[in-house]
């Protein structure tokens, strides 16, 4: 089973972009657009205090009539973030994401955010693992 650490190491670029709770929503949206990501951890003095996603903005921003240029991230972010550690595996991640109906999981190394996994990261990892397993079985069968 692939661990979170192995998955992060296999990502082409494991950079954690983050935002602070007092920054405006527009800044978070621009950051996410610039890096083609769907969520950012919200850090205050390097401590994880929430996560901000496109879904947060749609549900707590746009629908409620808040303006991106004048709304602090703290007002629309999701506090009480579910996280995983480097030692957990992708099945753990999939279970948390499914049960909690979330699409992003910050990865913690002690008290520091060291990565962010999306549902796409998990699904792609599972697909690669299954493809490798199939290739191994095919090789085993053909070599008799």
For residues 83 and 63, give the distance between their C-alpha atoms in angstroms, rounded to a whole number: 27
Burial class (CB in 10 A: 0-12, 13-18, 19+), 84: buried
Contact between 57 and 26 (Cβ < 8 Å):
no
Q: For the chain, give the mean pLDDT.
A: 93
Q: Is the pLDDT of residue 14 over 80?
A: no
Name residues whose C-beta falls within 8 Å of residue 18's C-beta, 6 or more positions apart in sequence. 40, 41, 42, 43, 113
Spell out where the chain has E strands.
39-44, 47-53, 84-85, 104-109, 112-118
For residues 25 and 76, give the distance between their C-alpha atoms in angstroms, rounded to a whole number: 8
Q: Is the pLDDT of residue 144 over 70?
A: no
Domains and CATH numbers, the chain: 4-142 (3.10.580.10)
pLDDT at residue number 63:
84
Residue 1 banded pLDDT, cuts 50, 70, 90:
confident
Whole-number CA gyration radius for the chain: 18
Percent of the chain with pLDDT over 70: 99
Contact between 48 and 113 (Cβ < 8 Å):
yes
Burial class (CB in 10 A: 0-12, 13-18, 19+), 140: exposed
Residue 26 banded pLDDT, cuts 50, 70, 90:
very high
Q: Is the pLDDT of residue 67 over 80?
A: yes
pLDDT at residue number 135:
86
Contact between 85 and 108 (Cβ < 8 Å):
yes
Residue-wise pLDDT tens digits, 118-133: 999 999 988 888 888 8
Best-predicted range by mean pLDDT (61-65, 66-70, 135-139): 66-70
Strand partners, 78: 51
Residue-wise pLDDT tens digits, 86-122: 999 999 999 999 999 999 999 999 999 999 999 999 9
């Amino acid at each position: 089973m692939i661990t979170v650490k192995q998955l992060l190491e296999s990502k082409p670029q494991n950079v954690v972009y983050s935002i602070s709770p007092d920054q405006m929503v527009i800044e978070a949206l621009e950051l996410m657009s610039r890096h083609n990501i769907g969520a950012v951890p919200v850090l205050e003095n390097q401590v994880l205090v929430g996560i901000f996603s496109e879904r947060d903005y749609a549900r707590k921003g746009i629908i409620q009539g808040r303006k991106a240029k004048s709304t602090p991230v703290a007002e629309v972010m999701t506090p009480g973030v579910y996280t995983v550690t480097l030692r957990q595996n992708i099945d753990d991640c999939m279970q948390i994401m499914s049960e909690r109906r979330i699409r992003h999981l910050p990865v913690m190394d002690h008290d520091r955010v060291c990565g962010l996994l999306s549902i796409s990261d998990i699904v792609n990892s599972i697909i690669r693992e299954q493809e490798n397993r199939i290739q191994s079985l095919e090789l085993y069968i053909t070599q008799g």
